[in-house]
Structure 1
Amino acid sequence: MKFEEIEAVMRKNESLSEQYILPENYIIVRLDGKGFTKLTKEKLTLEKPFDARFGKVMTDTVKHLFNTGFKVIYGYTQSDEISLLIDKNDQTFSRKVRKINSVLAGEASAFFSLQFQELCVFDCRTIAIPNREMLLDYFCWRQEDAHRNSLSAYCYWTLRNNGFTENQATGKTEKMTQAEKNELLFQYGINYNTLPAWQKRGVGIYNKEVVKPGFNPVTNETVDCVRKELFVEKELGMRGEYRLFLKEILKCKN
């Protein structure tokens, strides 16, 4: 078979297996650290349950992903997870799912690895979201997941730091309600409500308009310039408050 004939067959096979995000759908991309439990236990020296440097690198990774060619509206990170909201009109890579997944997973993995000088890998999935209410539901869901995991992590490491083994700490907390977990922490002198918000609720990143002084060389005058800058919100509200915060960000994209 000639080269041209082989190529035609292969290209056809590729196109038949393609998946696309349909028009008028928002794109959400969620990235997760692959094997990060082993990475954080064996290769990185981190504070438990939350490490400030690790949190900063996760935030910086999100900021990096804002500059990879996609129209990212909002980024959210908690633990070793990143969620990106991409504009419904974005046509990058013709909205091919495999390209979105491979490019963003590669960018995140490469950037994160460079920060720690260790091989770190993210996997990636792309989700089509048809309307704004579902968008709000998605991010509120991920924040609630952050809150639950944070509370559990604090309980686990509090017990470990007070003489419990891995199995004992896991067994003691796995069937506790959230109220019981808060009470456990309080018994060890920890008020969960006063802990840093980024540890409990995650971090939001979005473009914000700021006014900065500029210079007009034609009129030789100082003028105010409106520019967009990435803003990191470490004090996210919860539930209804968080929903209103997201609505304001989406409103700016009309």
Structure 2
Amino acid sequence: MKFNDLDKKMRVYETAHDFCVLPGMYIVARIDGRGFTKLTKEAHDFEAPFDVRFRDMMVATVDHLMNSGFNIVYGYTQSDEISLLFHPDDNSFNRKERKLNSLLAGEASAKFSLMLGDIGAFDCRICQLPNPRLVVDYFRWRNEDAHRNALNAHCYWAMRKEGVDPETATARLSKVSIANKNEHLFQKGVNFNELPNWQKRGVGMYWEQYEKEALNPKTGETVTAMRKRLKVDYELPMKDKYSAFIETVILQQ
């Protein structure tokens, strides 16, 4: 059998289950760390429950993904997860889900592993959202999840540092209200409201325009040119203000 005939025959099995995101659908990629609890708490000496070094690695990973050839308009990270909003017109790899999933997971894993000096693996899943309202709801969901996780994490590690074993700490937290969790921390000298906002709300990344002086090579005159750069926002708003912020990101596209 000639190679071209064999290639055509076998490609069918490789692409039989190709699914493409339909035109007009918003694409959000969610990228999660695999086994990161063990990686960050046992294999490496990161501070619990939050470590600026780990945060900066995640931010650098988002930066890499947003500069890896895809048209991504907003990146968000909290804990060991990343969410990316694609421009509605992005047509990379004909919007094939398997290509988006494999490339984004691979790029994230490679970048993070190089910084960590160890293997840090990510998986990826694609969310297809039919309208801007659901895009807003998606990022509102992840923003509020960050707040919930931060409160739980600070309570959990406060108990762990007092000698409570993991199972008991988890069981106790499952029966405590949000108000009582805040009070528990306050009794330990921690005001949850005063903790850094990036711990409670995550970190957002988006493109901004700025002016830069340049030299006109023909006239030698100094001119002002508009450039684009990636902004890292550690002070994201919450709740309705965050929803309004995401709406602005969408409308600017």
Which one is further off, 209-218 or 97-106?
209-218
Matched with 2:113 is 113
Distance 2:15 2:64 in 1: 30
**Any unmatched runs of 5+ in structure 2?**
none
Residues 29 and 85 in structure 2, CA contact (< 8 A), matched pair in contact too: yes
Matched with 2:72 is 72
Distance 1:4 1:205 in 2: 45
Matched with 1:150 is 150
Matched with 2:216 is 216
When residues 210 and 167 of structure 1 are mapped into structure 2, their CA distance, relative to the original with a 3 A threshold, is same
Shift, 1:41, TM fit: 2.2
Distance 1:203 1:31 in 2: 15
Root-mean-square deviation (Å):
1.2
Deviations 1:112-166 (A, max 9, x none): 0000100110001111111111000000001111111110000001111123222
Matched with 2:194 is 194
Q: Where do residues 1-254 of structure 1 align in structure 2 (5 Å cutoff)? A: 3-253=3-253
Which one is further off, 242-251 or 51-60?
242-251
Shift, 1:42, TM fit: 2.1
Deviations 1:89-132 (A, max 9, x none): 11111111000011111100000000010011000111111111
TM-score by length of 1: 0.96
Distance 1:114 1:19 in 2: 31
Shift, 1:3, TM fit: 4.1
Distance 2:221 2:3 in 1: 64
Q: What is the identity, as a one-letter code, of the residue corresponding to 1:247?
A: E
Deviations 1:162-208 (A, max 9, x none): 23222222222112121111111111111000000000000000100
Task: Find the residue that maps to 2:224 and give its secondary structure.
Answer: strand
Shift, 1:213, TM fit: 1.6
Q: What is the identity, as a one-letter code, of the residue corresponding to 1:34?
A: R
Distance 1:248 1:223 in 2: 30
Query: Identity of counterpart residues, as a percentage?
Result: 51
Distance 2:102 2:167 in 1: 37
Deviations 1:56-112 (A, max 9, x none): 000010000011111001000000000000112111111110000111111000000
Counting matched residue pairs gives 253
**Any unmatched runs of 5+ in structure 1?**
none
